[in-house]
Chains A and B, each alone.
Chain A
Amino acid sequence: AYKRFSELLPKEERESAFSARVPKNQILTLPELRANPFQHRICHVFSTSETKDDSMSFEDFLDMLSVFSDSATSDIKSYYAFRIFDFDNDGTLDRKDLEQLVNCLTGQGEESRLSSAEMEQLIQNILEESDIDKDGTINLSEFQHVVSRSPDFARCGSLQR
């Protein structure tokens, strides 16, 4: 893992890799993240930089890999998935977050988005299935509850090394 991290740094900084920070556009060149629609969110969630530029240190990099590995528990995975899906960082998944989530899934470009009627119907269905306290948003515990009953989640959330 250290090798891969240091490959992302420009040559001069490789010696001090432990303390260096890799800028965001370099992180996005990783093959696992390249095709991922949530790449920006992943960088944002795992980055601990004070300047909010979404750069990642080696520790952040390790954090990210450990969450996506096979040995992470489903609690950890669902916690981080929740943070990744929470586009406005307000701690709950409301309608706007869900809408952005679905648009990420169906692909960029105008013709690959669902129509607004379909989107409404879909978000309605999702909230019906997962919103237990009927407040119109999904909080962390509701999300974890829904995800624990989902058979595909464990399979999708792990990167193969």
Chain B
Amino acid sequence: RASQQADTERLSRWKKWRRTSSKSLRKALSEVKGLSSYLVLWQRDIHSIEGKFGTGIQSYFSFLRFLVLLNFIIFILMFSFVTLPIIISEYGIFNSTIAYISPKNIDDNCTIYEPSGNKGLVYFYTYIKDLFSGTGFLEVTILFYGYYTIDAVWISIMRYNLPLAYLLATFSYLALSFLWIIKRSGEGFMQNLVHDADPFQSYCNKVFAGWDFCITDPNAARLKHRSLHYELQTDLQEEKLKQKIAERTMKEKLRIYSLRIFINIIVIAILSGCFYSIYRVTVFSQENSNVSIRNDTRTHSANLLVQYLPSMVITLANFIGPLIFSYLIRFEDYTPAFEIKLTLMRCVFVRLANIGVLLFSLWSQISDCAADKCEPCGYNYKLYPCWESDVGQEMYKLMIFDFIVILAVPLFVDFPRMLLVTHCSCKLIQWFGYQEFGISDNVLEIIYGQTICWIGTFFSPLLPAIATIKYFIIFYVKKIVLIHTRKPAARPVRASASNFFFLMVLLIGLILAFVPLGVSIAQIPSSKACGPFRNFNTSWEVIPDTILDFPTVLQQILFGMASEAFAVPFFMI
């Protein structure tokens, strides 16, 4: 401090003024930052969770907050570009009208589509059934693709090309999610890189720089002590284990490798079993939901149970799979850190692949072209005159069921368990104990929900709104469950790695969502009876059509951009 004082005396007046002004500027900025933290959603809640339960669990909740914001923005995007023009034109604001272009060269049979929007008197429970299965009165609302059977909207003199807007909005929300996730994971990536790249420094780093001097709460201090203790212990154990592995004899190595191959085969067998059962159940559910073509109606008289059968099977598979994996991995004799990573990878794969199998089985039904069922239109037009709405309904059902399960599990499992453990001193119950907050399980749950949302938004533009509300409610539910029924984890988790891991898995989910969307947009012929892409062969055709309408110069530029000489370096950069 004495040296600082000596320095200030030597400086000229100008520099002194600069210094004081920069100091006051910094003070003002930090005060503004402090104020703005009040505006951030849930800031205080997340702080209190961090103080009581540690940074690992806090990273789960800030991840949840990120997803709420992401879904909200996606909803605003889709709503303003796709739904709003239609609503405007329906009420005739700004002198807007809707333009229908009658389809040319299309067989009349393809365009028959009469959603049974509950005509006449119906029982009340039909409304409830429709609410849960997305059929009936919901089918003809803006919730699903089928409503957007409009080719253009005229607002005063401007022609708003709805099909193009629909497709571009889809691409833009995918790109937005992609960029936002990458930006968020950028910070975590650097930290991860440093952690991994310098293993021989890790002990010094932990010991000399381990204590966070900002902790003021004794509870948080206790947590930090525990996490440091645990980290040091695991590191030492891993080191011992690595030494042991290096000293393995040839015979032992052979035994372990063959055991690992065997267990991997078991894992693959279990996965195939899951996939096959999902396929069969989806086919069964679809067959029993579509009724008598003779009556020319598609009444969903099937039981709600049958409709939800695919969702139930998927949830069951998502629940059993991880249990089996965590049991099996003990036999494979890896280091603890690698064990955790491998189990997580397998669980991620199960969850995301289940959605893929569901979609695949749906498509196999839609494109089921045996016996000339799809002759005129390219898809099974009798059973699925508006197949995008059907896919949208399946995604809607998946999302609703996921939400119900997330609400029901705390209600029927966690709270009774907590009550039992607190009040009943029977030894068996005490052995169960309080449950820990399994971060990775919860994270995979919400990533699964988010992947469904991404895939489903193309078929059901209001799905992000439902997802936003769902995650909003889940935040409060999980927070209540955490505070009342959980004990602090005995194994604290490192926050930076967790954050980065969540975002990576989310990215995997997003990239996986690209595949079904790509196939739907570019491969499968769009329905001729509903939707904005009636007049095109596939949904993707909107874009080449629009480009052909551009002036020739622009066309040449665009073709030049799309040509390989340009695109490859562009993507690399």
Taking CB atoms, residues of chain B closer than 8 Å to A101 are 207
The reply to whether B226 and A150 contact each other, CB–CB distance below 8 Å, is: no
CB closest residue in chain A, given B230? A106
Collect the chain B residues with CB atoms within 8 Å of residue A122's CB: 203, 207, 232, 236
A81 B1 Cβ-Cβ under 8 A: no
Contact present for B205 and A36 (CB under 8 Å)? no
A114–B232 touching, CB < 8 Å: yes
Does B183 reach chain A (CB closer than 8 Å)? no
What's the dominant secondary structure at chain B's contact region?
helix
Does B198 interact with chain A (Cβ within 8 Å)?
yes
Partner of B210, one of A105, A129, A158: A105
Q: Are B204 and A126 in contact (CB under 8 A)?
A: yes
Q: Is the CB of A126 within 8 A of B205?
A: no
| Interface-lining segment among B69-77, B107-115, B216-224 | B216-224
Residues from 8 to 47 in A contacting B, C-beta threshold 8 Å: 31-32, 34-38
Given known pairs A114-B229, A156-B213, A157-B213, the reply for A35 and B220 (CB within 8 Å) is: yes
From DSSP, what is the main secondary structure of chain A's interface residues? helix
CB distance from B241 to the nearest CB of A (A): 13
Distance of B349 from chain A, by nearest CB (Å): 32
Q: Is the CB of B236 within 8 A of A34?
A: no
Are B201 and A153 in contact (CB-based, < 8 A)? no
Q: How far is the CB of B227 from chain A (nearest CB, A)?
A: 10
Determine if B225 is an interface residue (Cβ-Cβ < 8 Å). Answer: yes
Report yes or no: B213 in contact with A159, Cβ–Cβ below 8 A.
yes
- Size bracket, chain A contacts: 35 or more
Q: Is the CB of B191 within 8 A of A151?
A: yes
The 0/1 profile, CB within 8 Å of A marked 1, for residues 237-253 of chain B is 00110000000000000
Partner of A151, one of B205, B215, B226: B205
Q: Which residue of A lies closest to B23 (CB)?
A: A71
Residue pair B210, A152 in contact (C-beta under 8 Å) = yes
Contacts A35-B218, A102-B232; is A149 near B201 (CB within 8 Å)?
yes
**Are A156 and B209 neighbours in the complex by a CB distance under 8 Å?**
yes
Whether A129 touches B204, Cβ cut-off 8 Å, given contacts A105-B225, A121-B239, is yes
Find out whether the CB atom of A35 lies under 8 angstroms from the CB atom of B221: yes
Contact of A147 with B by CB under 8 A = yes
Using an 8 Å CB-CB cutoff, how does the interface string of A111-124 with B read, 1 for contact, 0 for none?
Answer: 01010001001100
**Known contacts A35-B221, A121-B239; A66/B205 CB under 8 A:** no
Cβ-closest chain B residue relative to A108: B225
Q: Is A91 part of the binding interface, using a Cβ–Cβ cutoff of 8 Å?
A: no
User: Of B191, B207, B233, which is within 8 A of A126 by CB?
Assistant: B207
- The 8 A-B pairs at the shortest CB distance, nearest first, are namely A107-B225, A35-B221, A153-B209, A106-B229, A152-B209, A31-B216, A150-B205, A125-B203
Can you list 14 A-B pairs with a CB-CB distance of less than 8 A? Answer: A35-B218, A37-B211, A37-B221, A105-B228, A105-B229, A106-B228, A107-B222, A112-B225, A118-B232, A146-B208, A150-B208, A151-B194, A152-B210, A157-B209
Could you list which residues of chain A lie within 8 angstroms of chain B, going by C-beta atoms? 31-32, 34-38, 59, 62-63, 66, 68, 81, 85, 98, 101-102, 105-107, 112, 114, 118, 121-122, 125-126, 129-130, 143, 146-147, 149-153, 155-161
Q: Could you list 19 further interchain pairs (A-B, Cβ under 8 angstroms) beyond the known A35-B217, A155-B212?
A: A32-B214, A34-B216, A37-B225, A66-B4, A101-B207, A102-B232, A105-B207, A106-B229, A107-B226, A118-B233, A121-B236, A121-B239, A129-B200, A151-B191, A151-B195, A156-B209, A157-B209, A158-B213, A159-B214
